[in-house]
Amino acid sequence: MLPLTNLRRWRRVLPGIALLGLAGCNLIEFSPNDHRVPEEFTNLTEKNLAKLQARPLAAGDSLRFIFTGDSQQFYDEAEALVASVNQQPGISFLVVAGDISDFGLAREMQWVDEKLRRLTVPYVTVIGNHDLVGNGRPTYQHIFGAFNYSFVYGNTKFIMVDTNGREYNFDGTAPDMAWLKPQLANFDGARRQVVISHVPPTNDDFDPALRAPYVQALHEAPNLVFEMNGHNHSYSITQPYNDGVTYVNSDAFSERHYLVVTVWGDKQFRIKRVKF
Amino acid sequence: MKKLLLSALLLVAGVPAFATPPDTAAVRIPPAARRVERPWYRPAHLALQTGGGLGMVAAGAGYEFSKTHLETDILIGYVPKYYAGSTLSLASLKFMYSPFHLPVGDKFQVVPLTVGAYFSYTHGTINDELKGQYASDYYWFSTDTRYGPLLGSRVTFLAPPVAATGQPRKISLYYELGSNDLYLASYLNNRNGGLGFGQLLTLALGIKADF
């Protein structure tokens, strides 16, 4: 029989052992492709949009947000970016234009969120080709959410669309034009539109069969401010199709620059590139 | 190890094999010597584990070399669709080196340190590369092939040997901390502490039975 003092000692130690056990459960990884993560790392798009909608932009205020992309393996840079963005006044949210992860793995997406949740503003993402590698599809779905979605903030409708055609072996499903067209036709109460995706239509990784319909749909959009992409790891503002549609490309985290984007009026905008 | 076990058993049985000179007319054959010669392909143990990136459940067999200091385990693992989005089957090969086997009483043994490496191949991932889908150097890493280091220890229960053959039996419980090439690459690419070492670790828990 155990002496009473021993029992007391065990009572003190047991919660610690239970805690270790819980941590152990998270460590027991079935496969790097398994997407079990703690609940706090799931449904992040929905959670971050709820946070954003809880802080509506005052009527008449210009909309200002941070645009960046391709966080991938750049965790050191992610820390520096968060520290810098947290110094920016008057911003509403941050956008990562795809390639949150490098290998489409749950742990990576969790690691990036652990950095970006330290932002003083919410962040949203669109899926990138690296997020679709292996079992990235269900993993991104579980951790972030929908591949195609839209939201309205500050009089602007943001349309986030999966354009990673190569990951579907150019099967004609990405971008999903049947989803995109009605999204562009409807303002949902906003006065202007912004389309954000990962692979730009000028890139070889965009489904060649969908390039013309996509470019045409953007051209015909009733009040598109610009189309924004990642993937190139290189900042640019161009009108590659000379059709009046502006395409903005973000720097990757690795380039240690982000864009401060201000939008006002009908569809006026200003873009400032910031080094961090 | 086997010698130690044998002498322990002889002492327990009170056999005066070493105390008296052998009688050539009636040589007592020690149990180990009676063991049927094992075919080379017969595994030394069976193993069952969870985690370590090798399956929710992974089962297989293993071989021992160099007086059980070196081991190779071959495991087949399974991850249900619910946890990975598709049903995954994994084939894994583990190589382990355990320099110390410490006896604890007659019935137990502690192996405080096992170091090793594994290699695994995953079948059933969703976006598996199709022919011509990517240029050859499009992604520098493999989606399905993983490898990484292992570090663990184990406790072994020494069961009485099989009476008929003298075959020693052991049951071991083990844990292994590990990681994989992709987690390690992520860590090494962030030299300013962007990732903590603890964030790379995986844990496996398992049981091994020698037979």
Identify the three-state secondary structure at position B193: coil
Q: How many CB atoms lie within 10 A of CB A275?
A: 9
Q: Is A128 on the interface with B (CB under 8 A)?
A: no
Maximum pairwise Cα distance, chain B: 77
Task: Show which of residues 99-128 on chain B sit within 8 Å of chain A, judged by CB atoms.
Answer: 122, 125-128
Q: What domains does chain B contain, in order, with CATH numbers?
A: 40-126+140-210 (2.40.160)
> Across the strands, what pairs with B205?
B50, B175
Q: Where are the domains of chain A?
A: 1-30, 33-275
Q: Is A265 on the interface with B (CB under 8 A)?
A: no
ipTM over 0.85: yes
Q: Which CATH number fits domain A33-275: 3.60.21.10, 3.50.50.60, 3.40.50.880, 3.60.20.10?
A: 3.60.21.10
Helices and strands in chain B: count of H runs, count of E runs: 4, 9
- Name the band, by pLDDT with cuts 50, 70 and 90, for residue A8: low
Task: Give A32 to chain B, closest Cα distance, Å.
Answer: 6
Pick from A34, A78, A134: CB nearest B194: A78
Size of chain B in residues: 211
Q: Do A30 and B51 touch (CB under 8 A)?
A: yes
* Residue that the structure tokens 């079948």 belong to: B123
Angle (CA) A136 A137 A141, round 5°: 110
pLDDT digit string (tens) for A151-190? 999 999 999 999 999 999 999 999 999 999 999 999 999 9
B70-89: string of b/e by CB count within 10 Å (b at 16+)?
ebbbebebbbeeebbbbebe
- Name the band, by pLDDT with cuts 50, 70 and 90, for residue A124: very high
Q: Is A29 on the interface with B (CB under 8 A)?
A: yes
Pick from B83, B146, B204: CB nearest A35: B83
Contacts of B12 (CB under 8 A, 6+ apart): B106
Tell me which of A117-121, A225-229, B36-40 is least confident.
B36-40
| DSSP assignment letter at B24 | G
Please classify residue A79 by burial: count the beta carbons closer than 10 Å to its beta carbon, then call 0-12 exposed, 13-18 middle and 19+ buried: middle
Q: Is B191 on the interface with A (CB under 8 A)?
A: yes
The mean pLDDT of A209-237, rounded to a whole number, is 96
Interface test with chain A among B144, B189, B200, by most A beta carbons within 10 Å: B189
Pick from B125, B185, B205: CB nearest A33: B125
Task: Show which of residues 57-76 on chain B sit within 8 Å of chain A, judged by CB atoms.
Answer: none
The token pair that represents A46 in the structure block: 């929905």
Identify the three-state secondary structure at position A126: coil
Please give the model's pTM, rounded to 2 decimal places: 0.87
Instruction: Tell me how far the alpha carbon of residue A95 is from its chain's centroid.
Output: 5
d(CA A234, CA A248): 10
pLDDT profile of chain B (211 residues), mean per 10: 40 38 46 62 93 97 88 97 96 96 92 97 91 86 95 93 79 96 95 92 95 80
